[in-house]
Structure 1
Amino acid sequence: MSASVFALATALTATPAIAQQRAETSSIDDVIVTGRQAPDLASAGTKSALPLAETAQSITVVTAGDIQELGLQNLNQALRFVAGVTPETRGASAEVYDQFKLRGFDAPVFLDGLKQFGSTTGYAIPQVDVSRLDRFEVLKGPASTLYGQSGPGGLVAQTSKLPVDVPLYGGVAGTYGEYDLYRLDADIGGQAGSDVLWRVYGSANGADTQQRFARRERQTVSGAVTIGNGSRTTFTVLGTYSHDPHNGAYGVFPALGTLVDNPNGKLSTRFDGGEDGNRYQREQAAGTYIFRHDFGGGWSFRASGRYQNVTAQLGLVYVRGAPVAGSTRLYNRASYATDEELNNWTYDNQLAGTVRTGPVTHRLLLGVDRQVAHSTEDGQFGGGTPLDVYNPVYGTMTVPRTPAQVPGGTGEFRLDARLRQQGVYVQDQLEWDALRVTLAGRQDWARGQQNGGTPKQDEKFTWRAAALYTLPFGLAPYVSYSTSFEQQAATVRRADNTLGIADPSLGKQIEAGAKFSVPGTPILLSGAWFKIDQTNVVTSTPDFAISRQTGAVRSTGVEFEGSAPLGYGFTARAAFSRQRVRTISDPQDPSRVGRGLETVGRGGASLIVDWAPERGTFHGLTVGGAVRHVDEVYAGVYTPPENPAAAAALNSPSYTVYDAWARLDLERVNPALRGLTASVNASNLFDRSYITSCFANYAWCWYGNRRIVQGTIGYHF
């Protein structure tokens, strides 16, 4: 390696930045057979494959190989190493959901270009098992121009494993670890005739959670067939089903004893405020089609659609945030039960082509999409028996299994929410010598309705403009401006004290940055500054059924990301972000102006270094380690139970944890073991106890994951 490249790589490790790409040869998969898209290409930003170094937007790519190497169990964990993300909002207590903040805001998840709708009223929210993912891209900043419903912070675009044009391939892997963690993943596929490809894969996985009673468990299977392989017209059908009989307890910890000192000491990370019968189960089923046709002459058509059904049944006993008056040990509890169903249909149709006007090349994209979601919820809140959180005695009440069984209920309720959005969009990517300009616009029409009431009609035009210039030595500065529009179905209390459906959330962002790549190497560094303004922000209130809609929020920050080989088999990937997210207007509660948003952090940093020698005695061995730091996270205003006048805004403290792993290709030990690998992963290596976030206004907090060590044996062919 030349001295200049080595100096650049050394500087990368000293100045945190994060992994966006990885050389295809540097990851070895037991089960996962990757598709054709290279890790240095991204498609989420423009709905077309484009080199990251030429994309005028911050995008982070995480491949299935990255997920497996780090031993990650869900999207929450995979986002730990992405700049701009406040990860694992509810820590180890709620891994059933992908709960995180991107540049300070909730971010929707898309799968194969189509939105993963969640229930607008409750808990019927889908989650894609990591065994189904070929890769995902974190697209930062407003993206409504291409995707319609999307928040101002960005989105996560997941890609399913699809059939690969190989005669036969497959693999199986088994994992076991602490907390009785287990995984059994299998994947097989190949060719069926000259123009048909197939693939079947699935996973059975689960674990006990840190809290005393909770457990998660899942069985999922997916199958896909592609017809017309090798021709101008292909048609792919993908079906998937997931059964989640246990999804943890969705529990909480009192702030007094976690975030705030309690004279009785710290609460254990194993504390459970519920009962042994707490349950949350979920069923997910979906069918997706992807049709492609190449007209020739640079023009093509793509159509995709998905129907998804999610059902959820929840029965919980949980501890209230504040203790019983006069006590620091005894807490009242509450109960809740719900029965929910979500149905949604999403479609996206695109016509893409290339034309030239003199020296300028135009890559055009014209699209029309439609998104429909219908969710229902039957539920009831109720009471519970008190619990001494430092010496809990369980079994004093029965967990309700249906809304009708909730003790001391406030009254059963039924919510019926219907959302519909359709839009048309156009994008022009102009190339003139070293200049890249992207112009895009979209018109949306949205309709929302709750419980058969008067529908709320909204429409909005969103647009995006971006420019990037590639300099001869690899530097590419860029600037972009984009807007967002997101339909909301929450019930809000307005300033005149009336109830109604929330107005759509609107956002706008300006981003400026630069990317630097070294030709002929996988080195890619990027940095960005951004400012985002969001209006019509929905925030929760102590009455879970009714929210508030505040004035405006502003998020400003900087991010640095990158990856580089260091020579001698070493590779470094790093990330750094720093942001300030605050309320800048709130007519209903002016005291919030200048404060942050609950569960949103100030930023963080991570560094991943691994060693995989390409030759010599240790060829076939990979050893790696990671450090991840999360800065303070705004917790909200905490009111001491015995001294309301001492109410103050608090932050949950920053934390730093370490991970390590090792992997061995067993063929290097014995040639007869070809295809077998063994690995071990340890997350939070030094078993640190830490808080991921809090809602101090509710006096609730959540602990992060303690140390988890797991081992995997895999075979692939």
Structure 2
Amino acid sequence: MSRRLTSSIVALAAALPAFPATAQVHAGAVADNEVIVTGRAAPDEASSATKSATPLAETPQSVTVVTGEEIAQLGLQNLNQALRFVAGVTPETRGSSAEVYDQFKLRGFDAPVFLDGLKQFGSTTGYAAPQVDVSRLDRFEVVKGPASVLYGQSSPGGLVAQSSKLPLDVPLYGTVDGTYGSYDLYRLDADIGGRAGDLVLWRLYGSANGSDTQQRFGRRERQTVSGAVTLGNGSRTTLTLLGNVSHDPQNGAYGVLPALGTLIDSPNGRLSSHFDGGEAGNRFQREQASGTYILRHDFGSGWSFRASGRYQHVTSQLGLVYVSGAPATGSTRVFNRASYATDESLDNWTYDNQLAGTWRTGAVTHRLLFGVDRQVAHSDEDGQFGGATPLDVYDPVYGTMVVPRTPAQVPDGYGEFNLKARLRQQGVYAQDQMELGALRVTLGARHDWARGQQISAAGSDVKQDRKFTWRAAALYTLPFGLAPYVSYSTSFEPQSSTVRRADDTLGLADPSLGKQIEAGAKFTVPGTPVLLSGAWFRIDQTNVVTATPDFSVSRQTGEVRSTGFEFEGTAPLSHGVTLRAAYSRQRVRVTSDPQDPSRVGRGLETVGRGGASLIVDWAPERGTLKGLTLGGAVRHVDAVYAGVYAPPENPAAAAPLNSPSYTVYDTWLRYDLEKASPRLRGLTLGVNASNLFDRTYITSCFANYAWCWYGNRRVVQGTIGYRF
């Protein structure tokens, strides 16, 4: 990253932070320490870090809030893209080739995604994994650092907590938006809801969207619909029911590009970002369905009960031909390919029950939370790897083979397999948020019992684990707006990967354990929405699962350490200008690996060194340009560790590599047509352009596989919307 760019962003950010508050709607009274289940949470509050509505300025942990309005304004199509502007995230690790999944790194680690406080499980054996369409989201919060004390299974890097759009307490409202853009991108989003009597709220919304991808044969399509109803609105007891069905007939190709010709210079030149190493028949289909309940009861006197649960079902069918990475012997143009097919299903049940209340002991106010949760996931996979015809990547001739549609059709297969995984975890937790004048102290503790079972033709492997995790944090609010804080937290994450142990035997991986110390400060300008936050952190993780060239198993390295600094801030300025900035710098290294000492001191594949972003938004508050919004953004991602690359002609010259840093620019325009004519009330027009200058860049690589991924090229899209 250039020193000039870094200095400019930090200097601009130091003058500012927090978007101005938008109008918020709340249904009924809400206890201070209860998660809101209807309406919209305030943008300057976060509930995920403490499972309570706590001001960001008083939360002793790094948390980033991104609202649904911001996602729509920036024209973002998925969570991967929405995380581009969050400090501490290495975004879009598989670039434009893998938007079927939410793949990113948070403070150097994979991070789970939660929806409405309940974990979104992915298949532990294969490729079936849920993905929430952005049209369903009211907002999401990125919690940085270990959060196992409240959530159980969680990464030491943190988690992403998504919140669904739920019924709003207004008579009637609705929106319709249509979008068209580059690569035949299209979206049709609709949302309608309101009151049905005094005690019932309802909402129905959905989206049909899709696009061609950069790769020649890739295409994604989705139709999704959600419905929600809240019973007992405004009373002491409310029940919200939410259902969703999503049909993804195409999800891109999940393809790869060879490192030679992308990351590594080739005598034949650079491979096009539109290159596709597969075939026209490649397919990745997914179906999703879920049902959620959220029950709330207010006992009065500051005490309340909240219970939530979800059942989710996911199926996927995958049939791929892909470049296997290394060129054929004696060639720099012709590459070997492989094939794979799978048929998978995933079922999971998650529950969380909380009792929250306020208690005073002398001058100390205690905001107490007690919880019991349970998580169960069953996944089944039938699959087979096999061979494929080679391909001249600089003059490809397609159609030389048929893409397998079932595992049995995989050519030259290595043997069809069936894997089943059965996971469950239950935990009990307690938290005390104490207030004594300007001092805020948070203490939390949890105990988990976990059981994992993997079943295959070779037999059944069962692993049972239990763990105590805890957190302690303190924050002090000074009268001029500064709030320094310090926290210590631990994580516990059961793993279902099959690993090769030091004695060369195979078995389920041990749980990942993590611990973090974080010290930071938050600054608000009294009487304004300005919020600046900065934090230094150090995370130590043990029992890290590391991919190897052997597709059947992985390894567990000894220890990994992640240290870094993050800054985020947003602020409204004069004349309708709003700025938002983020900066992060991190160092993620293997600190111990008894099985492979050569890894010590090296990074983790697809983990970056940090980055920076700056968003500028101008919406004139008066004059002839009122109703117009112009915006622009610059985002920079620093070098990303790629792993060790061994040249085919000289394996002894193997060396660790990084994919290069990149900087891209985005811009957008919005106009409220009512400002031009009152008869056009409710109509808006918008144009977005991402990667404005159409830069070709690599997001990450697995150099040990000789695989790389290109990022998204320029996408321009136009939107017309109507709101009532």
Structure-1-length-normalised TM-score:
0.97
The answer as to whether partners of 1:13 and 1:572 remain within 8 angstroms in 2 is no
- Does residue 463 (structure 1) correspond to residue 466 (structure 2)? The answer is no
Aligned position for 1:648 = 655
Q: How does 1:554-633 map to 2 (within 5 A)?
A: 554-633=561-640
SS in 1 for 2:625: coil
SS in 2 for 1:404: helix
Once the two structures are TM-superposed, the CA of residue 666 in structure 1 deviates from its matched residue by 0.3
The answer as to whether partners of 1:18 and 1:562 remain within 8 angstroms in 2 is no
The answer as to whether partners of 1:18 and 1:606 remain within 8 angstroms in 2 is no
Q: How does 1:342-353 map to 2 (within 5 A)?
A: 342-353=346-357
- Does residue 447 (structure 1) correspond to residue 465 (structure 2)? The answer is no
Once the two structures are TM-superposed, the CA of residue 612 in structure 1 deviates from its matched residue by 0.4
Aligned position for 1:262 = 266
The answer as to whether partners of 1:282 and 1:311 remain within 8 angstroms in 2 is yes
- Does residue 14 (structure 1) correspond to residue 11 (structure 2)? The answer is yes
Once the two structures are TM-superposed, the CA of residue 566 in structure 1 deviates from its matched residue by 1.8
- Does residue 501 (structure 1) correspond to residue 508 (structure 2)? The answer is yes
Q: Percent identity?
A: 81
Aligned position for 2:670 = 663
Residues 18, 486 of structure 1: alpha-carbon distance in 2 compared, 3 angstrom cutoff = farther
Aligned position for 1:677 = 684
Once the two structures are TM-superposed, the CA of residue 26 in structure 1 deviates from its matched residue by 9.1
Q: How does 1:213-232 map to 2 (within 5 A)?
A: 213-232=217-236
- Does residue 549 (structure 1) correspond to residue 574 (structure 2)? The answer is no
Once the two structures are TM-superposed, the CA of residue 543 in structure 1 deviates from its matched residue by 2.1
Aligned position for 1:512 = 519
Once the two structures are TM-superposed, the CA of residue 36 in structure 1 deviates from its matched residue by 2.9
Once the two structures are TM-superposed, the CA of residue 613 in structure 1 deviates from its matched residue by 1.1
Equivalent AA in structure 2 for residue 171 of structure 1: T
- Does residue 423 (structure 1) correspond to residue 420 (structure 2)? The answer is no
Q: How far apart, CA to CA, are the structure 1 residues paired with 2:421 and 2:109?
A: 23
Q: How far apart, CA to CA, are the structure 2 residues paired with 1:310 and 1:282?
A: 7
Once the two structures are TM-superposed, the CA of residue 542 in structure 1 deviates from its matched residue by 1.7
Once the two structures are TM-superposed, the CA of residue 325 in structure 1 deviates from its matched residue by 1.0
Once the two structures are TM-superposed, the CA of residue 341 in structure 1 deviates from its matched residue by 0.3
- Does residue 482 (structure 1) correspond to residue 479 (structure 2)? The answer is no
Aligned position for 1:179 = 183
Q: Deviations over 1:176-234 (max 9, x none)?
A: 00000000000000111110000000000000000000000000000001000000000
Pick the aligned partner of 2:716 from 701, 709, 712.
709
The answer as to whether partners of 1:42 and 1:51 remain within 8 angstroms in 2 is yes
SS in 2 for 1:483: strand
Pick the aligned partner of 1:24 from 21, 25, 34.
21
Pick the aligned partner of 1:398 from 390, 398, 402.
402
Aligned position for 2:31 = none
Residues 641, 17 of structure 1: alpha-carbon distance in 2 compared, 3 angstrom cutoff = farther
Q: How far apart, CA to CA, are the structure 1 residues paired with 2:632 and 2:688?
A: 10
Runs of 4+ in 1 over 6 A off after TM superposition: 10-13, 17-20
The root-mean-square deviation of aligned C-alpha atoms, in Å, is 1.6
Aligned position for 1:309 = 313
SS in 1 for 2:183: coil
Q: How far apart, CA to CA, are the structure 2 residues paired with 1:12 and 1:646?
A: 39
Aligned position for 2:286 = 282
Q: How does 1:200-211 map to 2 (within 5 A)?
A: 200-211=204-215
Aligned position for 1:60 = 64
Aligned position for 1:693 = 700
The answer as to whether partners of 2:644 and 2:656 remain within 8 angstroms in 1 is yes
The answer as to whether partners of 1:13 and 1:607 remain within 8 angstroms in 2 is no
Q: How far apart, CA to CA, are the structure 1 residues paired with 2:610 and 2:346?
A: 34
Aligned position for 2:3 = none
SS in 1 for 2:433: strand
Which stretch of structure 1 is more off in the superposition, 551-560 or 447-456?
447-456
- Does residue 189 (structure 1) correspond to residue 193 (structure 2)? The answer is yes
- Does residue 321 (structure 1) correspond to residue 325 (structure 2)? The answer is yes
The answer as to whether partners of 2:216 and 2:276 remain within 8 angstroms in 1 is yes
Q: How far apart, CA to CA, are the structure 2 residues paired with 1:19 and 1:321?
A: 46
Pick the aligned partner of 1:373 from 377, 396, 401.
377
Q: How does 1:433-444 map to 2 (within 5 A)?
A: 433-444=437-448
SS in 1 for 2:81: helix
Aligned position for 1:212 = 216
Equivalent AA in structure 1 for residue 557 of structure 2: T
Equivalent AA in structure 2 for residue 23 of structure 1: P
Q: How far apart, CA to CA, are the structure 2 residues paired with 1:19 and 1:408?
A: 60
The answer as to whether partners of 1:237 and 1:289 remain within 8 angstroms in 2 is yes
Q: How far apart, CA to CA, are the structure 1 residues paired with 2:22 and 2:654?
A: 55
Structure 1 residue runs of 5 or longer lacking an equivalent are 1-9, 28-33
Pick the aligned partner of 2:126 from 119, 122, 129.
122
Equivalent AA in structure 2 for residue 405 of structure 1: Q
Aligned position for 1:133 = 137
Q: Deviations over 1:280-299 (max 9, x none)?
A: 00000000000000000000
Once the two structures are TM-superposed, the CA of residue 384 in structure 1 deviates from its matched residue by 0.3
Residues 645, 26 of structure 1: alpha-carbon distance in 2 compared, 3 angstrom cutoff = farther
SS in 1 for 2:70: helix
Q: How far apart, CA to CA, are the structure 2 residues paired with 1:96 and 1:11?
A: 35
Structure 2 residue runs of 5 or longer lacking an equivalent are 1-6, 25-37
Pick the aligned partner of 2:335 from 315, 324, 331.
331
Once the two structures are TM-superposed, the CA of residue 12 in structure 1 deviates from its matched residue by 7.5
The answer as to whether partners of 2:139 and 2:162 remain within 8 angstroms in 1 is yes
Residues 349, 237 of structure 1: alpha-carbon distance in 2 compared, 3 angstrom cutoff = same
Q: How far apart, CA to CA, are the structure 1 residues paired with 2:213 and 2:534?
A: 37
Q: How far apart, CA to CA, are the structure 1 residues paired with 2:668 and 2:529?
A: 23
Once the two structures are TM-superposed, the CA of residue 17 in structure 1 deviates from its matched residue by 7.4
Q: How far apart, CA to CA, are the structure 1 residues paired with 2:403 and 2:518?
A: 50
Aligned position for 1:110 = 114
The answer as to whether partners of 2:570 and 2:581 remain within 8 angstroms in 1 is yes
Once the two structures are TM-superposed, the CA of residue 545 in structure 1 deviates from its matched residue by 2.2
Residues 14, 118 of structure 1: alpha-carbon distance in 2 compared, 3 angstrom cutoff = same
- Does residue 72 (structure 1) correspond to residue 69 (structure 2)? The answer is no
The answer as to whether partners of 1:17 and 1:605 remain within 8 angstroms in 2 is no
Structure-2-length-normalised TM-score:
0.96
SS in 2 for 1:568: helix
Pick the aligned partner of 1:169 from 173, 177, 188.
173
Q: How far apart, CA to CA, are the structure 2 residues paired with 1:65 and 1:545?
A: 43
The answer as to whether partners of 1:610 and 1:622 remain within 8 angstroms in 2 is yes
Once the two structures are TM-superposed, the CA of residue 540 in structure 1 deviates from its matched residue by 1.1
- Does residue 535 (structure 1) correspond to residue 542 (structure 2)? The answer is yes
